[in-house]
Chain A
Amino acid sequence: MIMLKFNNITKIFKTDIIDQPFTALSDVSFVIPSGSMVGFLGANGAGKTTSIKIIMDFIRADQGVIEFDQKLGKNKLEIFQKIGFLPERPYFYPGLTGEEFVHYMGSLSDLTRPQIKASLDKWGERFRISHAMKRPLKTYSKGMLQRIGFLTTVLHDPDFIILDEPLSGLDPVGRKELKDAIISLHQEGKTVFFSSHIVPDIEEVCDRVIFLKEGKLVYDGEVKKILGDGQEENFIIKFYAEGVDPRGYFPNIEKLPGDLWKCIVPSVDKERCLKVLLEHNMKIQKIDNDKKTLEQIFYQIRTQS
């Protein structure tokens, strides 16, 4: 089942008459399967927020169409009833208190007062924001605003959650809490789509990833696949060699300070190397898997011309 199809979307911005039009998205297509947790990656200006704005109908594409799962509804209002959206760096009505703002958002989502209260009790406690509900939003810190924003995003129990840079501006504890909340929502069966330029966050929580570069799609698929694809699994072995010159035994070897050495061996050669080390009384200090992280892979893609 597909929750969202982003079909051949092109978006060109014409800033003024003199400047050249700027192509923010060029024939981008991807899908978000139902029940998946999809990370949306790309450097600043890659087109992530533009794509999200098109999905949310804030701006219109010059070409292409957006298709939502028919289960969400037939028209925009029905579909948006089942979507939870959190914009990037949200800033709310400063005069309203946290509680008033939550009631405002809840009533727009057709929730009754008891439903809003139940949701507020559940998420307010979880995000440690209940104590501040009577305070005006202008007194909230950046992290608190992000948390109350997330609270209103999930207030109406949406099936499809779209988050634009949800973890930016949060301290490590806040990031962990929000990531845990996103994971638990995903485990409840929600489809989650969130953009970030922080790759480890995506690698940690997402099962799929979409990567944009300069308005073009570079990758759309499983995180596991991109981590495994085309990678020869290597191991890094660090060891001490006293009175022995190990250079003759290993092809890819490097001298570190003291008697410490480092060699990189392919997986298939790992056992042979360890045997050699033990036979020649060389002490093993550490063995590490030399697998590339998602960040390293995307940094490589980004820097490729």
Chain B
Amino acid sequence: MKKVLIISGYTIKDHLKSKVMYVTLFLALSIVLVTFVATEFTYGVPEKVAIDFGLGLLSLSSLAISIFMGSSLLSKEIESRTVYMVISRPVSRAEFISGKLLGLILIQGLNFLILSVTTISMTLLFGGSLNQLIFQALFFCFLESLLALLLVVFFSLGCNIFISTSITVLMIIIGHGIQETNNLSFVLNRPYLKWFLDQYHFVFPAFYKLNLKDFVIYNQSIDFSIILSNSLYGIFYCLTIFLGIIFIFNKKNID
């Protein structure tokens, strides 16, 4: 565990010194500007628009940062041979990849914190109020970005940056749209297709389970059992991919 912490610590240090954090600050500024402009064009409900745009942009920004950082995590290490410097020491491959991932997750946590504070500040500025649901939505948003991060790292073990990014984006789109697809009459009229699509979330990540934005915007309450089961689904999926990454990285030729 000590080596994992050392690797994650230096991963954070290297990232903080790079220009990546400027991207986060730029995105935070974008949230401020877009929210401000959007509320100007609405009548009567600026706080709803602020939270709608805020959460939407927060979700998109954190997904983009996850994919951007995750897709190059291993390829950068291998191309620059820095991975050889680390794993030629008494460090197992599992420790190396866990350390890198932990470092990236903590950086993502910091990015997310900056963007969340910006979103909440804008909501409060436009007369919105804080409630439990907003924090639950933020938690799910973070879980969604972690899942995307782990997915893109997983695919990058076998594909180049372009392909791993494309597959991840595709999975995010399908994962969000699968619930709507399930409710189409075309699907409802075909029980075998409905059954097939119902099994989707057992194999592929069902991102729609991690999306509470609509509940927040329309101030709908949500049952605790759904919060719990969806959280467990997200955490379990993340853990499974994490173990998959370790397993494949242990077997992989680092060439």
Give A residues with C-beta under 8 Å from B: 53, 56-60, 76-78, 80-81, 83, 85, 87-96, 100, 104-105, 107-110, 136, 149, 152, 156
Contact in complex: A109, B13 (CB < 8 Å): no
| Additional 20 contacts, C-beta under 8 A, given A92-B85, A95-B18 | A57-B87, A58-B253, A58-B254, A59-B254, A59-B255, A77-B90, A80-B89, A81-B90, A87-B85, A92-B80, A92-B82, A93-B82, A95-B13, A95-B15, A95-B16, A95-B17, A104-B6, A108-B86, A108-B89, A109-B90
Residues of A within 8 A of B17 (CB): 95-96, 136
Which secondary structure dominates where chain B touches chain A?
Answer: helix
Q: Bits for B231-255, please: 1 = Cβ < 8 Å to A, else 0.
A: 0000000000000000000000111
Contact in complex: A80, B82 (CB < 8 Å): no
CB distance from A54 to the nearest CB of B (A): 10
26 pairs of residues in contact across A and B, judged by CB atoms under 8 Å = A53-B254, A58-B87, A59-B254, A60-B253, A77-B90, A77-B92, A81-B89, A89-B81, A90-B82, A91-B81, A91-B82, A93-B10, A94-B14, A94-B18, A95-B14, A95-B17, A96-B10, A96-B13, A96-B14, A96-B17, A100-B10, A100-B13, A104-B10, A108-B3, A110-B90, A152-B85
Complex-state Cα separation, A105 to B3, whole angstroms: 11
Contact in complex: A59, B253 (CB < 8 Å): yes
Nearest CB in chain B to that of A11: its residue:
B253
Residues of A within 8 A of B163 (CB): none
Residues of B within 8 A of A149 (CB): 85
Using A56-B88, A77-B90, A108-B3 as known contacts, say yes or no to A93 and B14 having CB atoms under 8 A apart: yes
Q: Which of B14, B17, B88 has the most CB of A within 10 A?
A: B88
Contact in complex: B89, A105 (CB < 8 Å): yes
Range of interface residues on chain B? 20 to 34
Q: Bits for B4-20, please: 1 = Cβ < 8 Å to A, else 0.
A: 00110010011111100
B186 CB-CB contact with A under 8 Å? no
Residues of B within 8 A of A53 (CB): 254-255
B84 CB-CB contact with A under 8 Å? yes
Residues of B within 8 A of A87 (CB): 81, 84-85, 88
B222 CB-CB contact with A under 8 Å? no
B91 CB-CB contact with A under 8 Å? yes
Contact in complex: B91, A56 (CB < 8 Å): no
CB distance from B75 to the nearest CB of A (A): 13
Residues of B within 8 A of A108 (CB): 3, 6-7, 86, 89-91
